[in-house]
Amino acid sequence: MAADLPWWTRAVVYQVYPRSFMDSDGDGIGDLGGVLARLDHLSDLGVDVLWLSPVYPSPQADNGYDISDYQAIDPLFGSLDQLDELVEALHARGMRLLMDLVVNHSSDEHPWFVESRSGPTSPKRDWYWWRPPRPGMAAGDPGAEPTNWQSHFSGPTWTLDPASGEYYLHLFDRKQPDLNWENPEVRQAVHAMMRWWLDRGVDGFRMDVINMISKDVTPDGRLHDGPPLPGSALGDGSGSFLGGPRIHEFLAEMHREVFAGRDGAFLTVGEMPGVTVEQARVFTDPARAEVDMVFQFEHVGLDHGTSKWDVHPLRMRDLKASFGRWQAGLSDVGWNSLYWDNHDQPRAVTRFGDDSPRYRRDSATCLATLLHLHRGTPYVYQGQELGMANFPFATLEDFADVESLNHYVHAVSAGESADSVLTALRRMSRDNARTPVQWDASPSAGFTTGTPWLPVNPDHREWNAAAQRDDPASVLAHYRRLIALRHEEPVVALGDFAMLLPDHDEVYAFTRTLGEDALLVACNLGRRPQPLFELLPRAKEAPLVLGNLPIEDAAVLGPWEARVVRLP
Ligand code: NOJ
């Protein structure tokens, strides 16, 4: 049976956020030349797939997640020739390339939107969501927006276009208008664009907020208000756009129009905020041919209170309950993707690990072991394999991200103290993930010869790739071993998962079983030593497969120690 499973069930994906990966031309912004120059790093790590965050022409309001031309490369990042070169170089090394597909919205500078905005009679008017003010109100009146939805980047999801007196919808920034997927011409244009990339040799897509493309709209074009948000004039519109009524139809159609009948080995992963296990089973059921796997958000929401800016400590039981449910829910149908870090999340070693000098390496490797031993496809975000941590942001001027800056303006104008907003930004801002990759100990960390667009973390003098490359005890070396283990051991890629000790507050343990072969994984997510053999007597006679620390006393799991053993 294992032989029939798709290639990506044994694969590890590496995400490159190109702005911050490697700069080859000294302008302080990473680029394709930089990615090409660092491919050895990826081969050396042993990853199978490179997911490239957007490199298309863009005004960069959201660092490229606002695209103004889907079929070209922004000169900031290089050229189409370099992209072709990247495809070829990756394929020559046995790796594959995933492009980022951002089609819930485009940039407001995309010619489609420019045309659409030109007036109510534009042939592309209906390619986006244009609506008059709320009945009985005048354009621009407070509260006259067509619905009460709050944008993911603060404020209303509607911006008035004074020329026509109509509003356009943007679930994200005002520079990211939502495309109207109800219109078949929009869908056909997206499908044609995707085929064009596949024809160039790319191997699939990571699909940005793809569960938001279908909006719950009445036959006469009305959209509904959402429940009011506490303490705000706005409401939660997610009931109208998360997993909307036509989402399965749109994804199945996309699959049919783009992938079906095409020779090749592709991968599609749909980013789906708010997706439940039950929904993910449907989205990733191979019989339905929609997407291969989804990015779910449950575990990265466990430290959120009323919003991501209201930070709470992670409770171990919640993490176990959540991951356990996802492992069980997708065991017979569908497939999990596994991640801690990406360009939207603060660094996991700071957030869920312990980035004190004493435990940073150990907690980074412990978290990595936990994740990589689950069933699913692991994603490594650039720098995670080096133990990169959050940045010591001092003032508001240190932040660049549109989400952080919008949040600051809205929260402070709503009466929150500037200090408390800054404290939350320091912990949760996406900029934590976006500081340049730390290649070496030189002043700009080997990232650029110019001035980096976001400062390099001062800790790069100690935490960098050059220092770790030949050190068998490094975080990097541990990632290499984890990735190799998945390739070598069918039980790691494919074995069944069973959670152990669901109520223990510090030890995260589980088994993986494939036929007669069984592994036990035990991770101590804290500073207190744990009596391993008392907690898990089966570990006693079990030989070590992989660990993150030298073992002094086999019966004890040391602080942040992770052990993988083979059950006799
Ligand atoms: C999800 C992306 O990962 C994020 O970076 C972006 O800001 C939003 N989607 C909007 O495209």
DSSP 50-112: EEE---SS---TTTTSS-S-TTS--TTT--HHHHHHHHHHHHHTT-EEEEEE--SB--TTSHH
Pocket test for ligand 1, best of 16, 102, 171, 407 (most atoms within 8 A of CB): 102
Q: What is the mean pLDDT of each run of 10 residues along the chain (568 residues)?
A: 81 98 98 98 98 98 98 98 98 98 99 98 98 98 97 97 98 98 98 98 98 98 97 96 98 98 96 98 98 98 96 96 98 98 98 98 99 98 99 97 97 96 98 98 98 98 98 98 98 98 98 98 98 98 98 97 98
Provide φ and ψ at 14, rounded to 5°.
-115, 125
Q: Residue 380's beta-bridge partner residues? A: 14
Q: Residue 204's beta-bridge partner residues? A: 267
Q: What CA–CA distance (Å, rounded) separates 103 from 187?
A: 9
Q: Which atom of ligand 1 is nearest to the CA of 62?
A: 7
* Predicted pLDDT of residue 1: 44
Q: What CA–CA distance (Å, rounded) separates 77 from 23?
A: 9
Helix crossing, 402-413 with 418-428: angle to 10°? 160
Q: What CA–CA distance (Å, rounded) separates 515 from 336?
A: 21
Q: Which atom of ligand 1 is nearest to the CA of 104?
A: 11
Pocket test for ligand 1, best of 15, 51, 62 (most atoms within 8 A of CB): 62
CA 4 – ligand 1 centroid, Å: 34
Closest CA to 493 of 143, 11, 4: 11
CA 553 – ligand 1 centroid, Å: 46
DSSP 317-351: HHHHHHHHHHHHHTSSSS-BEE-S--TTS--HHHH
Q: Residue 530's beta-bridge partner residues? A: 557
CA 462 – ligand 1 centroid, Å: 31
Q: Which atom of ligand 1 is nearest to the CA of 271?
A: 1
Provide φ and ψ at 248, rounded to 5°.
-70, -40
> Which residue has the least CA distance to atom 11 on ligand 1?
65
Contact between 106 and 177 under an 8 Å Cβ cutoff? The reply is yes
CA 271 – ligand 1 centroid, Å: 9
Q: Which atom of ligand 1 is nearest to the CA of 343?
A: 5
Q: Which atom of ligand 1 is nearest to the CA of 153?
A: 7
Contact between 552 and 558 under an 8 Å Cβ cutoff? The reply is yes
Of 31, 178, 208, 341, catalytic: 208
Of 31, 173, 203, 271, catalytic: 271
Provide φ and ψ at 293, rounded to 5°.
-155, 165
Provide φ and ψ at 527, rounded to 5°.
-90, -15
Pocket test for ligand 1, best of 103, 344, 402 (most atoms within 8 A of CB): 344
CA 523 – ligand 1 centroid, Å: 32
Closest CA to 181 of 120, 288, 105, 279: 105
> Which residue has the least CA distance to atom 10 on ligand 1?
65
Is residue 419 flagged as an active site residue? no
Q: Give Rg (Cα) of the chain.
A: 24
Give, in degrees to the nearest 5, the angle at Cα 421 between 420 and 425.
Answer: 115
Contact between 429 and 404 under an 8 Å Cβ cutoff? The reply is yes
Closest CA to 99 of 7, 31, 199, 197: 197
Q: Which atom of ligand 1 is nearest to the CA of 430?
A: 5
Give, in degrees to the nearest 5, the angle at Cα 89 between 466 and 473.
Answer: 25
Ligand 1 cavity residues, CB under 6 Å = 62, 65, 102, 172, 208-209, 271, 343-344
CA 65 – ligand 1 centroid, Å: 6
Q: Two tokens at 517?
A: 């072969």
DSSP 391-404: ----SGGG---HHH
> Which residue has the least CA distance to atom 5 on ligand 1?
344
Pocket test for ligand 1, best of 208, 297, 401, 430 (most atoms within 8 A of CB): 208
Q: Which atom of ligand 1 is nearest to the CA of 402?
A: 7
CA 236 – ligand 1 centroid, Å: 18
Q: What CA–CA distance (Å, rounded) separates 328 from 281?
A: 11
Helix (H, G, I), strand (E, B) or coil at 149: strand
> Which residue has the least CA distance to atom 8 on ligand 1?
65
CA 208 – ligand 1 centroid, Å: 6
Q: Which atom of ligand 1 is nearest to the CA of 273?
A: 1
Eight-class DSSP state of 374: S
Helix (H, G, I), strand (E, B) or coil at 337: strand
Q: What CA–CA distance (Å, rounded) separates 522 from 511?
A: 9
Non-local CB neighbours of 474 within 8 Å, separated by 6+ positions:
361, 467, 468
Helix (H, G, I), strand (E, B) or coil at 304: strand
Non-local CB neighbours of 116 within 8 Å, separated by 6+ positions:
122, 124, 125, 126, 127, 128, 130, 177
Is residue 271 flagged as an active site residue? yes
Closest CA to 352 of 312, 323, 305: 312
The half-sphere exposure of 280 on its side-chain side, counting CA atoms within 13 A, is 27
Contact between 336 and 288 under an 8 Å Cβ cutoff? The reply is no
The half-sphere exposure of 417 on its side-chain side, counting CA atoms within 13 A, is 3
Pocket test for ligand 1, best of 20, 51, 172 (most atoms within 8 A of CB): 172
Eight-class DSSP state of 536: -
Ramachandran region, residue 94 (left: φ > 0; alpha: ψ -120 to 50; beta: rest): left
CA 41 – ligand 1 centroid, Å: 26
> Which residue has the least CA distance to atom 6 on ligand 1?
65
CA 464 – ligand 1 centroid, Å: 27
Q: Which string of b and e fits 130-167 if b means at least 16 CB within 10 Å? A: bbebbeeeebeeeebbbbbbbbbbbbbbbbbbeebebb
* Predicted pLDDT of residue 2: 53
Q: Two tokens at 231?
A: 């303490």
Q: Two tokens at 373?
A: 């031993």
Q: What CA–CA distance (Å, rounded) separates 35 from 42?
A: 10
> Which residue has the least CA distance to atom 2 on ligand 1?
208
Q: Residue 386's beta-bridge partner residues? A: none
